[in-house]
Every structure is written in structure tokens, then in C-alpha cells.
Amino acid sequence: MMPLEKIQSLVSVDDFFELSNVAGLCLSVLNIGSDRVYMNVPMRNVIEENEWEMSLPDWLTFLHKKDRLTLNDALTQVRAGEPRELRLRIVRRDQSLAWAKCHLVYLSSRFVACLFEVLSTEDVHTKWIGSSNQQLEMADFLPEEKTFQLDIHNLIPNLQTFKTSKTEKNDISHIFPRFSDVLENIPYGLAIINKDWELVYVNAAFERIFECSISHLYSQQLWKIYSAQNYYAYYIHLSEAMSEQKVVKFRDYLHQLRKIVDVSAYPNEEGMTVFVQDVTAVQSYVEALEDAEERFSLLASNIKDVFWIADADFEAFEYVSPSYHEFFNLTPYQSVSQKDEWLSIIHKDDVDYVLEGFRKMKYRRAVIEFRIITKDDTIKWIRTRGFPVFNERHDMIVGVHEDITQLKEREEWKQKEKQLETVAHLAAGIAHEIKNPLTSIKGFLQIMLSEEQRQNKYSDIVFNELERIEDIVNEFMMLAKPEREKQMVRTSLPEIVDYTTSLFKKQIEEKSITLNTSYSDGTFQVLSEPKRLKQVFINLIKNALEASTVYGTLTIEGEEKDDLLFVRVRDSGKGIDAETLKRIGEPFFTTKEKGTGLGIVVTKKLVHDLGGDLTFDSEKGKGTTVTVTLPKSK
């Protein structure tokens, strides 16, 4: 190794602190003679302190009280020239703790250097937590007051013989007898070059980074060791630093070694100090992290579901994905900072259930399904999955909101389909049992009515009732009729509607009802079975006329939109309340005095068989609108 005096000629006391700053090391130099501590920039950043110098008792307050005794014992051993490495907890101003490795280097009879390396959470758990726990267990048995005081003056014999000096930075010149030990402990590559480009010193970390031994090449010119042709980037940047006397920093990729390094050059009048840091792992981690963040952001921005992160107490959401606003019609700010605002949209019957579900998510995986009410009074079904995540920094709950409204509607429709299947089987049995007797009765009545002498005043009543029974049976049979292959042809909707309304011309005139028919621009052609389609509009117009009062209005409107055709049949009757409207279409449910509740069921089945949909909209006192939606013929 190069003699210390040559290194000292190139590195000043100020450089010593600057070197540690560049290396990112947290350095504290303890002046035992004056009870003062000198700190570099990284150290001050960790403990959040502005002053570079402070008293020893004040400095000790930034160490965990149970670690101060450990430091005291370590300093006693360092006094005898034994290098020591221990683990300590640094206490920040916000009282949070940071585990750190502490390298102690005995510099002189008055100075001890403490090099701190703050550990990541992973390092703490995989490397240091075991030994640290043992250290803490021993400290726990000590009286509380003893762990607060560090009797550092007992470390140096006959301390009273030392004369306390001024706390100026040049006081640290006593460090140089052991300065080389400090340089060797820096975990980054360090090279010192004189103004003639001769290599004066390299530390062990430098040789490890470049995977070769260089110390035997001292006093040789740098560019003979590393040719300018092979290390052109270094030649350009270091020449710029030396000639212009300015700090130069750059990043380079060492192809043969497959390493990424950060290089910092600090020139002075006598030469240059060069720091090299291997950032291959860090850069790979950063790139992987950025890539993962980009993928997560892309996923969160494009999925319809809402990804969220909440604090462990569910007092606030720490993150919600961009689809949150469309999902809940609330801003992310309202979800993150205004818990009550979010709870207010949950259906009142589900609030307690939701809160209980979230309580379970604090401890284990849980899935809940609940309803929310949007600003336009639409009810949505939400499925929420959540689970706890425990880590060293803080606990959290992670989950996903999923809109399952359509799923619930499909489940509801499947239930109705099962009801229809039951009705269909029942209808088949009833129809076969009563159709033949009805046919016979009807035939005999027709014969009886043809003979005038046998007619009586009840004959018409009997005949009308039998026709009604026949209608009921026909509706049952239509429900029970097995699915057959549909004969689909190109059909004009306006022609079907005109034909159907003509069938009810007499009823329209008798009630003086105004008929309004209109269509938007378009062909209004559908691929359908005309017979079924006619039956659909016969049923709807019949219901509309029965609901309408004298001098009422019947409106039929057609609209084309994208690949769909809409036909709306609107009456001016008394309308239906919301609760009753929900039950429209249930088998055997009817609002008519003599209805069977099967007419709408049959109509819905006909429309669905044609690939369409049937919806109802009504308000008490304002009439009812039935919308038939069918796919447009292409």
C-alpha cells in the first residue's frame, strides 16, 4: 500500500469529509478530548440535523438508548486497536428507527471514526435481526438509567492530561495516522491520481469492482494501465475534470465485466480523487421496479375493476385506481380522505354487512357482495375481495372492487327461467287435461245455439267464458311449446306495427283514443319471424288500450341506433308504482281483475326467442312505456 504521507499530500482533511459524502457513507467523528462530534452530510440527513458539529451527549440521543451501552463496549475494544463492527438503531427526529451497521475505526488517542451504513428492511431481516435480538435481550436486563449514559471518558486513560482544543474542522488532522484504515473500509472503489496521471492509491473495493490487482502498479501512468482506447469514456471525462478543475460524474457499462458503474471525479491542484460505485444490482432493481410500476400503471388504468389499498384501520384509502370515478361516481379524493362520503352511497340495508366484511379483511381474506346507489339512483351490485398485508413499515389492506350488476341480473333471469320451466311443465299437463273437454263443450254449444228453440239467456255467457278458458289454455300451450327451428326472414317493423294497429281500429274508435306513430330515419328491417313479431305487438297494444282511458293517447315510436332497433309503445293510462313494476313479468302476477299473469310472460319469451329484449318503464299517474329491442338486419 502507498505510504500514508503520499496520500496525505493529495487528500486534505476537508477531502476526508468530502470523500465520505460522495461515497454516501454516514460518518461521525468522535472527538473524545472535547466531547464533540463532527458529522458529514449523509449522517446529518439520516438524523435530520442541520449542524455539522454537536456535543457528544446530544449526538448520543440519536442512538437507541439500549444500543448506547453496546457502543460503549465496542469503543473500549477499538481503543486497543481492534476494528469493530456492530449493529445499532438510529433514532430519527420523528422517532422512527433505522437499523445500521457501524464500523468503528480508531484514528488517534483523541479521535474515533464511526462509519454508519443504513440497512434496508431485507438486510435487517436476513442478516442482522438474529444477532440484534440477542443484543437487545441482554440490554433488556440492564437498569433503565444505565442504558441512557455513555461514559466515553473512561475509554482513554489519563484523559485529564489532554488539553481541550477549539472545535474547528482542522482539529480533525489527528485522524490521519489511521486514515488509510478508513479508506479501506469505504465500500466503494477509490482511486487517487496525481497531476502527472500516476496512480497513487486504490482501495480494495476498487480492485474488487474491476476484478484485478492494481496496487503493485503504483507510480505508473493511469493510461498505461487502462488504455485510453479501451476506456475512452474515462479518458474524456477524467481529462475534462483535470483540465477544467471541475467535478465530473458519469455512468458507464463495463462490457467485459458486465457491470454498470457510477464514476465521480474530484480534482484538486495536486491531482484527482476518483470514486467508482458498482450499481449493477441497484440499476437492475430500479429498471425492474420501473418496469413493474409501468405494467401495474397500465393494468390499473385499463381494467374496469377498482384496485385499492387502505390503511390497517380502514380509516382511509391510501390508493385507488383510475377507474374508481367511473365505478362509484366519486373522485379519488373523496374515497381517500372522506370515508363518510364513500359509505353514504352504500345501500342502507348493506352498510353494517359491509363494515363487518371490512373488519374481517383486517385479519384474513374476505369476500363481500353489496349494493350501492349512484347519483342517478341506479342500483349497482359490487363484489369486494380484500386481504391484509403485513410488513415492517406498516400494515395495510389490499383489495379489488368488481361490478357484478350484470351477473346478478343474469342470475335473476336464470331464476325466472326456472320458474318459466316449472310453469311450462304445469301448463302442458293442464292443457292436455282440459283441451279435449273444452273442444267437445264448445262443439255442443254451437249446435245448441243453432237451434233457436233451445237458446236461452245464459248461452252467450257460457260461450264467452269458454272462449276465455280457451285463451288461457292457448297461453299455457305457447309457454309449454318446445323450442323449434325459427323461420327467420327480413321483416319491416313499420309494416308489422301498421298491421297490428289495424286489428284494433274498432277499440281505438270506441274509446276515442288518439294514435300517434313515428319513426326516426332508417330502414327498420329486422331478421325475424313475422308471426311471432305480430303476436308480440298484439299483446302490447292490447294491454296499452286496456290501460288507457277514454280520449287517451297511444304512442308508438321507432328508433334505429347502431345495430339495434327500438320500438316504444306508450299509453296514457294510470301507470304503475315502482314496487308493482318490479314484479311485472312474474308468472301469475297481474294487475287486471280477470288476468292470468301469463300474457307478459309469453310476450317476453317471444321477444327473447327472436334475440331481443323487453323492458318496462312506468310512473304512477303518467302511463307506461314498453320498449322492444331487436337486432337490426344486416
pLDDT per position as a tens digit, 579-631: 888 888 776 667 766 666 677 888 888 888 888 999 999 888 888 999 999 98
Q: Quick one: pLDDT at residue 556?
A: 93
CB 74 within 8 A of CB 104: yes
Averaged pLDDT of the chain:
75
Q: Same structural domain for residues 235 and 97?
A: no
- Structure confidence at residue 136 (pLDDT): 38
* 192 and 215, same domain (yes or no): yes
For residues 474 and 497, membership in a common domain is answered with no
Residue 347 has a CB neighbour count (10 Å cut-off) of 16
In a domain, 13, yes or no: yes
Residue 567 has pLDDT above 90, yes or no: yes
Grid cell in block for residue 93: 427526529
Of 445, 480, 515, the position where a domain reaches its end is 480
Same domain, 215 and 141: no
Give the integer Cα–Cα distance in Å for 31 and 111: 5
Q: Are 462 and 338 found together in one domain?
A: no
Q: Which of 453, 480, 507 is the last residue of a domain?
A: 480
What per-residue confidence (pLDDT) applies to 571?
A: 92
Residues 302-315 have a mean pLDDT of: 77
Q: What is the pLDDT of residue 306?
A: 82
Looking at the chain, the whole-number percentage of residues with pLDDT higher than 90 is 9
pLDDT at 78 (0 to 100)? 72
Range from 17-21, 527-531, 535-539 carrying the lowest mean pLDDT = 17-21
Whichever domain contains 365, its CATH number is 3.30.450.20
Q: Which of 338, 337, 342 is nearest to 354 (CA)?
A: 342
Residue ending a domain, among 183, 205, 229, is 183
* Phi, psi of 95, deg, nearest 5: 70, 5
SS3 content of the chain, % helix, strand, coil (to 5): 45, 25, 30
Please count the CA atoms within 13 angstroms of the CA of 255 that sit on its side-chain side. Answer: 3
Instruction: Give domain status of residue 301, yes or no.
Output: no
Backbone angles phi, psi at 501, to 5 degrees: -65, -30
**Residue 36 pLDDT exceeds 80:** yes
pLDDT at residue number 627: 93
Q: Minimal CA–CA distance to 252: which of 229, 272, 280?
A: 280
Q: What average pLDDT score do residues 388-404 get?
A: 81
pLDDT of residue 628: 93
Closest CA to 212 of 202, 198, 199, 221: 202
Q: 398 and 452 share a domain?
A: no
Q: How far apart are CA 633 and CA 610, in angstroms?
A: 12
Q: Are 576 and 516 part of one and the same domain?
A: yes
Helices (H) then strands (E): counts for the chain: 23, 23
SS3 (DSSP) at 430: helix
Per the structure, the count of domains in the chain is 5
C-alpha cell at 513: 283514443
3-state SS, residue 168: coil
Listed range (89-103, 254-268, 305-319, 495-509) with the worst mean pLDDT: 305-319
In this model, does residue 424 exceed pLDDT 80?
no
* pLDDT attached to residue 288: 65
Task: Give the DSSP letter string of 360-371.
Answer: HHTTS-EEEEEE
**Based on the domain organization, do 395 and 381 belong to the same domain?**
yes
List C-alpha distances in Å: 218 to 215, 429, 463.
6, 108, 124
Please give the distance of CA 540 from its chain centroid, rounded to a whole number.
48
Residues 69 and 91 sit within 8 Å (Cβ to Cβ): no
Residue 368 — very low, low, confident or very high, per pLDDT cuts 50/70/90? very high
Give the three cell numbers for residue 443: 262443439
Measure Cα distances from 591 to 30, 441, 581, 588, 619 in Å: 94, 30, 10, 10, 15
In a domain, 528, yes or no: yes
Same domain, 397 and 518: no
Residue 546 sits in a domain of what CATH number? 3.30.565.10
Q: Looking at residue 124, what is its pLDDT?
A: 45
Q: Are residues 562 and 425 in the same domain?
A: no
- Co-location of 515 and 570 in the same domain: yes
The rounded radius of gyration (Å) of the Cα atoms in the chain is: 45
Instruction: Please tell me the predicted confidence (pLDDT) of residue 626.
Output: 93
Q: How many other C-beta atoms can be found within 10 angstroms of the C-beta atom of residue 33?
A: 20
Q: Do residues 89 and 156 both lie within one domain?
A: yes
Provide the pLDDT for residue 568.
94
Convert the pLDDT of each residue in 249-286 to its tens digit. Answer: 998 888 778 888 889 888 877 788 888 888 887 666 66
Structural domain contains residue 434: yes
pLDDT in tens, 132-186: 333 333 333 333 333 333 333 333 332 222 223 333 333 443 444 455 566 676 6
| Identity of the highest mean pLDDT range in 255-259, 311-315, 441-445 | 255-259
Name the one residue in this structure whose C-alpha cell is 362520503: 341
Domain that holds residue 456: 409-480
Residue 132: its pLDDT value, please?
Answer: 38
Q: What is the mean pLDDT of residues 333-341?
A: 56
Note the pLDDT tens digit of each residue in 448-492. 666 655 556 556 666 666 776 776 676 666 665 655 566 788 888
> Which residue do the cell numbers 381517500 mark?
336
Output the nine-digit C-alpha cell for 571: 299509453
In sequence order, the β-bridge partners of residue 38 are: 29, 53
Which percentage of the chain shows pLDDT scores above 70?
A: 68
DSSP conformation letters of 506-556: HHHHHTTPEEEEEE-SS--EEEE-HHHHHHHHHHHHHHHHHHPPTT-EEEE
Q: Is residue 595 part of a domain?
A: yes
- pLDDT for position 256: 78
